[in-house]
Chains A and B, each alone.
Chain A
């Protein structure tokens, strides 16, 4: 949480040797809804331990892209490779088991369960899931995993509260906690700070920086300021196509990007 640690994540000197291996790669990924091409021929790559952002105006296809990566949508054409393996069109449970987790733009939690139950069920998906005879709270490794996830999103002291009774900001963080509890290697965050106050946004971004140390992260975020200082690389989507792709500095200098996005 210290200042140095935060800087460490985004500093180019942090480039570990593994950073050149693409964890995720899409080839000519295309999604059509009737006549509308929500994504067209998207070639995209995320390297291990990178923090990548996808930005773009409303309706650019960012969430659609996440839906493809996580198996919610089957792309019309194109391929998705995760760790070199073709995962195109696999169901979302299989993709989750392979190590891609996501949070949702619209909060998608279990409101009638406690915060702890929300993350415990996620942690349990990796072990003992079919056990029918033990009490669900009897597994120390599941409990530890769940508590660790809650701790990393700052909700450990709210563990026993019903998710429905948490504040909007807390629910957004729980959303991330659920994804973390599945122990992903790639975490996709779809506008994690949507609807948050400035203070909450700040805290959540701190949180993202912290978890970025052990994870590859792909984030959709509207706040340019935030994206610029958080990410190694930014991809700009516009009407389903990649408009630009590069370091924050490159994106800032790109005239096409300035035209469609930065000005507005």
Chain B
């Protein structure tokens, strides 16, 4: 912790190389993910795409958990409304349109997020967490019981939209092109969210996490920032819901159940909160282990037990999560 003469002259160069190293790393990971569907068999191709989607959901909740210091158990609601919003667009409008599905999904998620944000951001810590959980369960019950509209228990099934650029381009999604589309959305979301978290606004969120009372005392209307954070987080969770609907061509009430929110929190903790990429890595790690367990021991295997053990061991020995060590570096 000494500040020798070196640190006076260093900032510019370290900053440059930091940026360079970051983007080189980013491009390498992107390259791997772009090539992956060309070499992976069909099953694993879809598997990887799904990891990206869960990763986007986890990343969206990191805005609250890792950056603002609010643990949300409401993300199943945002994810679910994105999913059902997309379903509505895909079922009502024919031919099914991808962009309309995204628009409807984001609209649905934004509505849910506004509702949750308005009522729960006044509360802190466990009270916030529980309130978001209750709200997501309310959405679950509505979706589960309103069978005429949501299909209730059976959910909704629809066909996959084409990839279109209006008036220019129209093609069916293959598993590979769908993967690339999802990758583009997730990577774009990452770059955008990272920038937002580094912006003055993002610094306010982190300041709220570090010391909420002081943040208010230096002039920030904390509640307003929290509402916008929940909205932002909800929108990206909704986007994940849309992608999930497009990939799997169904919407089901079980995704709105609070266990989805629980998984999301676990992805965050495993991967490293406050890093944005960590939660994606956490989602991948979790899904991969679950997949391996069910491959080795069969479908009926109660995978949650060993996963729970792994989770606890990680909390003890790696409390920062897989990418926690790089937290400051990734946010610079």
Residues on A close to B: CB < 8 A? 70, 72, 91-94, 96-97, 101-102, 108-113, 117, 120-122, 124-126, 128-136, 139, 142, 157-158, 160-161, 165, 178-179, 181-182
Contact of B220 among A129, A131, A157, A161 (CB under 8 A): A129
Contacts of A102 in B (CB 8 A): 217
A93-B219, A160-B7 in contact; A129/B201 too (CB < 8 A)?
yes
Whether a CB of chain A sits under 8 angstroms from the CB of B122 is no
Contact of B203 among A92, A97, A111, A136 (CB under 8 A): A136
Contacts of B198 in A (CB 8 A): 135-136
Q: Decide if the interface of chain B is mainly helix, strand, loop or mixed.
A: helix
15 contacts between A and B (CB under 8 A): A93-B216, A96-B219, A101-B218, A102-B217, A109-B214, A110-B210, A121-B218, A122-B218, A124-B204, A125-B218, A131-B201, A136-B199, A160-B3, A161-B3, A179-B218
What's the least CB distance linking B207 to chain A, in Å?
Answer: 5
Whether a CB of chain A sits under 8 angstroms from the CB of B222 is yes
Contacts of A91 in B (CB 8 A): 216, 221
CA–CA, A185 and B198, complex, Å: 30
Interface size class of B (residues with CB under 8 A): 20 to 34
* CB atoms of A131 and B199 under 8 A apart: yes
Contact of B1 among A97, A117, A165 (CB under 8 A): A165
Whether a CB of chain A sits under 8 angstroms from the CB of B289 is no
Contacts of B176-209 to chain A: CB distance below 8 A: 195-196, 198-204, 206-207
* CB atoms of A110 and B211 under 8 A apart: yes
Contacts of B326 in A (CB 8 A): none
Contacts of A92 in B (CB 8 A): 216-217
* CB atoms of A112 and B210 under 8 A apart: yes
Whether a CB of chain A sits under 8 angstroms from the CB of B213 is yes
* CB atoms of A93 and B200 under 8 A apart: no
Against A, the Cβ 8 Å flags (1 = close, 0 = not) of B213-245 are: 111111111100000000000000000000000
* CB atoms of B217 and A121 under 8 A apart: no
* CB atoms of A135 and B214 under 8 A apart: no
A93-B221, A93-B222 in contact; A134/B214 too (CB < 8 A)?
no
CA–CA, A22 and B219, complex, Å: 23
* CB atoms of B217 and A96 under 8 A apart: yes
* CB atoms of A70 and B202 under 8 A apart: no
* CB atoms of B214 and A182 under 8 A apart: no
CA–CA, A72 and B213, complex, Å: 9
* CB atoms of A182 and B219 under 8 A apart: yes
Contacts of A125 in B (CB 8 A): 218-220
Closest A residue to B11 by beta carbon equals A160
Contacts of A132 in B (CB 8 A): 195-196, 199-202
* CB atoms of A121 and B207 under 8 A apart: yes
CA–CA, A34 and B66, complex, Å: 38
Contacts of B218 in A (CB 8 A): 93, 96, 101, 121-122, 125, 178-179, 181-182
Contact of A124 among B3, B203, B210, B217 (CB under 8 A): B203
CA–CA, A37 and B3, complex, Å: 49
* CB atoms of A121 and B204 under 8 A apart: yes
What's the least CB distance linking B65 to chain A, in Å?
Answer: 16
CA–CA, A101 and B214, complex, Å: 11
A131-B200, A136-B203 in contact; A113/B219 too (CB < 8 A)?
no
CA–CA, A117 and B219, complex, Å: 16
A110-B211, A160-B3 in contact; A135/B219 too (CB < 8 A)?
no
What's the least CB distance linking A182 to chain B, in Å?
Answer: 5
Closest B residue to A103 by beta carbon equals B217
What's the least CB distance linking B8 to chain A, in Å?
Answer: 9
Contacts of B201 in A (CB 8 A): 129-132
CA–CA, A139 and B239, complex, Å: 32
Against A, the Cβ 8 Å flags (1 = close, 0 = not) of B1-25 are: 1010001000000000000000000
